[in-house]
Amino acid sequence: MESLNRLRRKTLLQLSQISGYVMDSENERRLNMFYLKHKGTRLEIGEDNVYTTCPKCGKEHKVDICDILGGGDADLYGTNVYCHECSVKRDEEVSTR
């Protein structure tokens, strides 16, 4: 039974990569509106797989894409997100001016 469930999940994943649909927690099909595409495979953009590089130190860190784009006037090309350490240093520098 376990291998049947594993095969079902694998098949659903393959179908979602082909069709752009994903299965939610209730096993209902929903359209994936935004995704990345790499070598023909669709990669879902989620809250746990979006990263950026700090413009000051170069450290790679996770970001919440909803927080960044939530205001409605941000764009991915003109937005810099500092890592936690550099954000603290930058805030200290600004407050001492």
| Domain assignments of the chain as residue spans, ordered by start | 1-45, 47-97
How far apart CA 87 and CA 25 sit, in angstroms, is 36
pLDDT at 33: 67
pLDDT at 36: 84
- Token readout for 63 is 């970001």
Q: pTM of the entire structure?
A: 0.58
Pairing of strands 51-53, 41-44: unpaired
Per-residue pLDDT of the chain (97 residues; tens, 9 = 90+): 456 556 555 555 554 544 455 555 555 555 556 788 889 888 888 878 889 999 999 999 999 888 887 777 777 788 889 999 999 999 998 888 7
pLDDT at 13: 54
pLDDT at 18: 47
- Token readout for 72 is 């409605």
- Token readout for 95 is 């407050």
